[in-house]
């Protein structure tokens, strides 16, 4: 005879849970997820939603560790759903943050998701589109850049792959020629034809390092390469799903690519700063 894993009462021979308890547990999980997903547009206040979540968890045999995992996943989905409509409004952001705080979600809890990071990025873009210089990112230690007077760092990306387009010339279609026998002891040499040159362009990984985006320019610092590019020297921006490409204002310029792993944010961040 074993006890029910939910209510702790005898569950019968060869059974680990009561059918009703299992249904109540699963229903409670769905209710908590729905409450969190509806928070951005709900008429209920975040504190009221937090109280409902705790009550449902207690009545549905949901343990504290299970509840934490459940609310982290649901809260992350709520952030994603809200961002589908574009940048978060201040009201939606405030409701999501209030819910996070009410649920006592810590930075450690949110390490399994990048939802908190996406909220910060959305707020940065909202500030820029309103003509406000964002001051939302905190930096631990000193950044390895010589910033100019009055220049403000808006965002920094770590472990960025820096790529450049390189052109390699190859020769194809060449032949060494052949000897054709005309008669005994006499041979006629047929010359081979020359190969033609083909230029192949490819993106080559140059370095990996830190990128800082400021109010005036883009900085890069890696183990082998370091530079800065003022926005006034950039003629075009190219968005990628995982990064940003730029073209400098120079006759010999070739595309430079920064793989930041968040192309949408990087492109919108840099283009909005360039317009300031």
Q: Find the helix or strand (DSSP H, E) in which 66 lies.
A: helix 64-83
Kindly indicate the confidence band of residue 2, based on its pLDDT and cuts at 50, 70 and 90: confident
- pLDDT at residue 176 greater than cutoff 70: no
40-88 pLDDT, tens digit each:
999 999 999 999 999 999 999 999 999 999 999 999 999 999 998 789 9
Name the nearest CA neighbour of 153 among 132, 138, 173, 170.
138
222-250 pLDDT, tens digit each:
999 999 999 999 999 999 999 999 999 98
Sign of CA dihedral 89, 95, 101, 105: negative
Domains and CATH numbers, the chain: 2-129 (no CATH), 153-165+204-275 (2.30.29.30)
- pLDDT at residue 105 greater than cutoff 80: yes
**Dist CA 132 CA 249 (whole Å):** 27
- pLDDT at residue 201 greater than cutoff 70: yes
pLDDT at position 46: 97
pLDDT at position 63: 94
**Opening angle at CA 242, ends 237 and 244, nearest 5:** 15
pLDDT at position 79: 96
Q: What's the token pair of residue 103?
A: 């649920």
Half-sphere exposure of residue 64, counting CA atoms within 13 Å on the CB side?
A: 4
Kindly indicate the confidence band of residue 269, based on its pLDDT and cuts at 50, 70 and 90: very high
Kindly indicate the confidence band of residue 251, based on its pLDDT and cuts at 50, 70 and 90: confident
User: 174 or 79: whose pLDDT is higher?
Assistant: 79
User: 136 or 245: whose pLDDT is higher?
Assistant: 245
pLDDT at position 276: 86
Mean of pLDDT values over 181-199 = 61
Average pLDDT score over the chain: 89
pLDDT at position 165: 86
Half-sphere exposure of residue 149, counting CA atoms within 13 Å on the CB side?
A: 0
Q: What's the token pair of residue 249?
A: 């204002």
Q: Find out whether 62 and 6 touch, Cβ atoms under 8 Å.
A: no
Kindly indicate the confidence band of residue 181, based on its pLDDT and cuts at 50, 70 and 90: low
pLDDT at position 12: 83
The proportion of the chain whose per-residue pLDDT surpasses 90, expressed as a percent, equals 73
Name the nearest CA neighbour of 119 among 127, 108, 109.
127
User: 182 or 49: whose pLDDT is higher?
Assistant: 49
Q: Find out whether 42 and 54 touch, Cβ atoms under 8 Å.
A: no
pLDDT at position 149: 92
């Amino acid at each position: 005879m074993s006890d029910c894993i939910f209510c702790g009462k005898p569950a019968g021979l060869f059974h680990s849970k009561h059918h009703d308890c299992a249904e109540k547990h699963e229903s409670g999980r769905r209710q908590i997820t729905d409450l969190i997903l509806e928070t951005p547009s709900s008429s209920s206040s975040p504190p009221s939603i937090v109280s409902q979540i705790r009550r449902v968890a207690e009545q549905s045999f949901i343990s504290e560790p299970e509840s934490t995992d459940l609310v982290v996943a649901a809260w992350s989905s709520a952030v994603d759903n809200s961002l589908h409509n574009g940048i978060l409004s201040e009201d939606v952001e405030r409701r999501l943050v209030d819910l996070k705080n009410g649920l006592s979600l810590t930075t450690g809890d949110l390490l399994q998701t990048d939802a908190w990071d996406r909220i910060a990025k959305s707020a940065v873009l909202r500030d820029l589109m309103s003509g406000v210089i964002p001051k939302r990112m905190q930096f631990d230690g000193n950044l390895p850049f010589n910033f100019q007077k009055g220049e403000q760092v808006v965002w920094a990306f770590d472990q960025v792959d820096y790529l450049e387009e390189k052109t390699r010339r190859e020769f194809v279609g060449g032949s060494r020629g052949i000897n054709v026998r005309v008669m005994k002891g006499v041979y006629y040499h047929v010359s081979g034809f020359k190969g033609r040159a083909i230029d192949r362009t490819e993106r080559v990984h140059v370095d990996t390092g830190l990128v800082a985006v400021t109010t005036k320019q883009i900085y890069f610092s890696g183990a082998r390469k370091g530079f800065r590019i003022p926005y006034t020297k950039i003629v075009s921006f190219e968005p990628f799903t995982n990064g940003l490409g730029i073209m400098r204002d120079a006759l010999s310029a070739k595309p430079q690519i920064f793989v930041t792993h968040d192309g949408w944010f990087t492109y919108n961040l840099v283009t909005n700063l360039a317009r300031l």
